Amino acid sequence: MSARARFATGAGTLAAATVYLVATTTRLGLLFYLPTRGEWTFDPPTGVIAMDWFARSNATLAAGALATWAAWRWAPSDPKRCARHAGRLWALGWMMLGWSAAYTAMWLIAQR
């Protein structure tokens, strides 16, 4: 894999993980699906099963795709510099993925 490709995928991973973590830990006013009613709403009523997975997943995928494209487009032209920054982006991206997974697991455990 070229340094430019590592740079772009590292930026995409970091952006996707960050958006997922922010969307999971905050109340952003995402679009919720109410499966028992077959409705979509931004403000789910209390006591009803509401899923924000669709909105969170789409936001995560969009952020990752946009960041990957932007990083590919504007990657440093020097291969050594690009490789150095790619390593940092990969490390930060995987760190954010780890935080996202840990937060999600702890939240699910706390719901029991």
Q: What is the number of domains present in the chain?
A: 1
| 100 within domain boundaries | yes
DSSP string, the chain: --HHHHHHHHHHHHHHHHHHHHHHHS-----EEETTTTEEESSPPTTS--B-HHHHHHHHHHHHHHHHHHHHHT--SSHHHHHHHHHHHHHHHHHHHHHHHHHHHHHHHHT-
pLDDT per residue over 19-43, tens digit each? 999 988 888 888 999 999 999 999 8
pTM: 0.83
| 110 within domain boundaries | no
| 101 within domain boundaries | yes
Confidence label for 102 from pLDDT (cuts 50, 70 and 90): very high
pLDDT per residue over 2-13, tens digit each? 889 999 999 999
| 45 within domain boundaries | yes
